[in-house]
Structure 1
Amino acid sequence: MISSRSFVAISFAVVPFVFFACAKGSSLPGGGGGAGGEGGDEWSGPAQSSSSSGGMGGSGGMGASSSSASSGASSSSGGSGGGGSGPLPIVLLRIGDGVTTLSSAAAPVSLEWRLTDGSATPGAPGTTSMPQVISGSNYQLTLSGTASSEGHLSLSANGKYVFLAGYAADVGTLNVSTQIVSRVVGRVDASGNVNTSTLLTGAFNGSNVRGATSSDGTSIWVSGNSTTTGGIHYTTLGSSSPTQILSNPLNTRCVHASGGQLYATSGAGTFVNVFTVGAGLPTSTGQTATSLPGLPTLGASPYGFVVLDLSAAIAGPDTLYVADDRSPANGGGIQKWTFDGASWSLAATWNDGTAGVRGLAATPWGGGVRIVATTAENNENRVLTLFDDGSAFPEIVIATIAPLNTVFRGVAFAPQ
């Protein structure tokens, strides 16, 4: 392991694991370069549970930074990042078919079922494709190939489903994020059964729809952007009439229901942090966003996040992991925040010295927390995993790399 108080960057070779098949809470299994993908994402108008892993691959040093100073962290390709007792099942959202160059046009979306070491999950569906044509009550679900703020995954609070959001538009629809087409929610269960019957008529017009979450598989909250119809919308499975419950900020990124509370992130105004939306799990208009105390109100670029209650000494959540897509030199990476009962403080920031991250999942497991993240490159990006056992320099492992003409966006622990 390489460990240093100064930034260390070492080049290394990685052979990607390519896997194709036909086509947060405490429940197990539970979002490169600068921050792109905000309101400018194809828009011309005014981003919990238990972790473990098996053996580690060969090491090659990669940079990681802490909140007080830069710190080196060992990194390897393959393996599962040390700690715990074995790899855990995850779901990765992949955009692209591996043949067509990614662009602002609507691209096919699929979920890959893997383990945290990058290998295929035994007995899992393999690859679950989102519909590309209307079939019965299910609508298409596609995403822009280049809108980097889209494509987040959330495990429902009851642990039974993963949720995502996209466009009810055909593959190839030009500049899909700017089109006035219905946005759509996807729900997928542990067997890979897909439900895309939920339309968001009138929501997120002319801009990005980004993520969706649920407490029970039926109540749904959706995040995204638009000059008037952005913010966060509430709906129910199979409905086509969403309710805009949050309009400030209008530009939201990731949303999660965790511990009976709705949380979200944004890159707009002073809400460049994790904030609560109303009290509990609100369903009506007029909700207020309240930033968690101590989190930044300027300069940060948060996407995926996980809120955990790990300490019996602190009432409520006390540990927060946040994906920040800024470059490592500017504070990007996997941030760990801790709560002392009054305010949140940045405890560490881990990255691989190459890129920030956008997708994020974390779960308590094996005496620590297993963390999985997707890096911020917009094509052929990487899936990183590490085991937070409280040490300053956890090993960062590259579990897999997205194949040519594809990108991994959201990640979640697999539903049960």
Structure 2
Amino acid sequence: MISSFTHAQLLPTWFRRVSLLGAAFSLASTMALQAQTVRPFTVGNYVVVRIGDGSAALSSAATATYLAEYSPTGTLVQQVSLPTTDALPNLALTASGSATSDANLTRSADGRYLVLTGYNAPVGTASVTGTTAATTNRVIGRIAADGTINTTTRISDAFDANNIRAAVSANGSTFYAVGANGGVRFLPLGNTGPTTALSTGTPTNLRTINIVGGNLYVGASSSNSYGVLQVGSGLPVAAGQAFTLLPGFPVASGPSSFSFFFTDQSPTVPGLDVVYVADDRTPTGGGIQKWSLVGGTWTLNGTIASATAALRGLTGKTTGTVVTLVATGASGLYSVDDAAGYNVAPSTATLPAALVTAPTNTTFRGVALAPTATALAARSAPGTSEAALTTFPNPVQQQLTVRLAAGSAGHLAEVRDLLGRLQCKRVLPVSGQLDLTALPSGTYLLTIDGKMTQRISKAE
């Protein structure tokens, strides 16, 4: 008679109850994750990669990964959990608890997405960075401005038995990825096959990557390349791209370069002319380096020194001549202004105290500005009455009309490019019309009263 029982029926009643309870918790966790992802990010906030839930000391094992959104004053706005189990098409994305160079964070060039990398491994997978990529795929996560998580993109032919560290995207449809081996890889969203090895030669050990001014750059500290390098020209998609170390950066050992932030500070130097680079050396030499482009060569102006915090994540925003730099080390989030301008030592010599301290048994990795939506609905601060922001025509050639639910007159309109540089600042008239005739064609961010933002396009 026993043969007529199923295997499940032979299990003790208490075991079946525990199993059912576990399934219920798993379902609840999945539902909670789904609920979290629908909350949009707030423009102007900072997003930090946090590793660990605080329940146990970190190790080299695969660890739960989160995106923590903070206001510029350091207030926690929300915490987004990345998946720890596969729920196809999405894959688990975890990180090593001890690999300090991993889990850098970038914002896509069009501003709409956050991008980071990890491992398709269950929490607790031992020495996850040493696993083979074919069996433990490397994963790229794309998180939209509305909080939607996409972890469908996998890499099985690169960063084998070693770290994947960072990825970036122009518009969320394709990615460039780097790690401790394999150079620069190019692949589409949802990739399941081989990737394109873009780069040739050294260095193969890369730490960070970003798109700036329509070009692709990486950060490195090895193989006669200590600083920032350009990859090919523009945004390459074919193999055979060469690295070019920005002239003036050292070829000898010394700097330990990670993330970087470019800006334009001189009206007489065409294009981007200042770059800040995070350097994780402690107790001396590290911090945020400032380099200016002088006569075609990048010159080190000085360093915002950090004796205790090993800085690896870095982003920033520019308002006139003031550059606000936002950096992360393992134990904290930092914010510091440099108001000195082009080719001058930073106006702040020493990194201030942390804006936010990482909770016990967790660590901070990369940082980026919060993403924006193509047509972001009004995200008003508490106490504001505007319910909607409407603009037309979009694309615009000359006059952009701005409509607010409470009327347009008297509201401050600011137009910035995708590097955060202020292009236009006006108080709106009753008609709500904003003259953008003088702007070159391109994509911009319109912000009203510092609270509501929409993406606009300027046509020829």
Same fold, TM exceeding 0.5?
A: yes
Instruction: Report the Cα distance in structure 2 between the residues aligned to 1:203 and 1:116, rounded to whole angstroms.
Output: 37
**Which of residues 154, 158, 169 in structure 2 aligns to 1:199?**
154
Displacement of 1:366: 5.4
- Matched with 2:145 is 190
- Matched with 2:69 is 113
**1:101 equivalent in alignment to 2:57:** yes
Deviations 1:351-400 (A, max 9, x none): 3432331110111025411111112x4xxx11111111116336724211
Instruction: Report the Cα distance in structure 1 between the residues aligned to 2:80 and 2:104, rounded to whole angstroms.
Output: 16
| Pairing 1:44-55 to 2, within 5 Å after superposition | none
- Matched with 2:183 is 231
Deviations 1:200-249 (A, max 9, x none): 121100000000001111121001023xxx11100111112311112421
| Pairing 1:128-139 to 2, within 5 Å after superposition | 128-139=80-91
- Matched with 1:382 is 332
Q: Which structure is higher in RCO with an 8 Å CA cutoff and minimum separation 6?
A: 1
- Matched with 1:40 is none
On the 8 A contact 1:328/1:351 being kept in 2, the answer is: no
**Which of residues 95, 109, 128 in structure 2 aligns to 1:143?**
95
Higher helix share: 2
Q: Which runs of 5+ in 1 are unaligned?
A: 1-21, 24-86
* Amino acid across the alignment from 2:338: D
Deviations 1:46-98 (A, max 9, x none): xxxxxxxxxxxxxxxxxxxxxxxxxxxxxxxxxxxxxxxxx940100000111
- Matched with 1:245 is 198
- Matched with 2:366 is 410
**Which of residues 105, 108, 115 in structure 2 aligns to 1:153?**
105
On the 8 A contact 2:336/2:348 being kept in 1, the answer is: no
* Amino acid across the alignment from 1:107: T
- Matched with 1:325 is 280
Deviations 1:158-198 (A, max 9, x none): 01111001111111100000001110100001121110011
* Amino acid across the alignment from 2:332: R
Q: How many residues align?
A: 320
Instruction: Report the Cα distance in structure 1 between the residues aligned to 2:114 and 2:239, rounded to whole angstroms.
Output: 25
**1:256 equivalent in alignment to 2:210:** yes
Deviates more, 1:305-314 or 1:146-155: 305-314
| Pairing 1:328-367 to 2, within 5 Å after superposition | 328-329=283-284, 331-365=285-319, 367=321
- Matched with 2:262 is 307
3-state DSSP class of the match of 1:410?
A: strand
* Amino acid across the alignment from 2:335: T
Deviations 1:11-41 (A, max 9, x none): xxxxxxxxxxx75xxxxxxxxxxxxxxxxxx
**Which of residues 212, 230, 235 in structure 2 aligns to 1:276?**
230
On the 8 A contact 1:315/1:341 being kept in 2, the answer is: no
- Matched with 1:293 is 247
* Amino acid across the alignment from 2:233: A
3-state DSSP class of the match of 1:177?
A: helix
Q: Which runs of 5+ in 2 are unaligned?
A: 1-31, 34-42, 341-345, 373-460
What TM-score do you get using the length of structure 1 for normalisation?
0.74
Structure showing greater Rg: 2
Q: Is the alpha carbon distance of 1:340 and 1:366 closer, same or farther for their aligned partners in structure 2, counting shifts above 3 Å?
A: closer
**Which of residues 382, 394, 398 in structure 1 aligns to 2:354?**
398
**Which of residues 29, 41, 47 in structure 2 aligns to 1:91?**
47
3-state DSSP class of the match of 2:226?
A: coil
Q: Is the alpha carbon distance of 1:398 and 1:386 closer, same or farther for their aligned partners in structure 2, counting shifts above 3 Å?
A: same
On the 8 A contact 1:151/1:164 being kept in 2, the answer is: yes
On the 8 A contact 1:165/1:185 being kept in 2, the answer is: yes
Instruction: Report the Cα distance in structure 1 between the residues aligned to 2:318 and 2:337, rounded to whole angstroms.
Output: 10
* Amino acid across the alignment from 1:90: Y
3-state DSSP class of the match of 1:273?
A: strand
3-state DSSP class of the match of 1:357?
A: coil
The list of structure 1 runs, each at least 4 consecutive aligned residues, that deviate by more than 6 angstroms after superposition, is none
Instruction: Report the Cα distance in structure 2 between the residues aligned to 1:352 and 1:246, rounded to whole angstroms.
Output: 33
Instruction: Report the Cα distance in structure 1 between the residues aligned to 2:205 and 2:221, rounded to whole angstroms.
Output: 7
- Matched with 1:162 is 114
On the 8 A contact 1:116/1:372 being kept in 2, the answer is: no
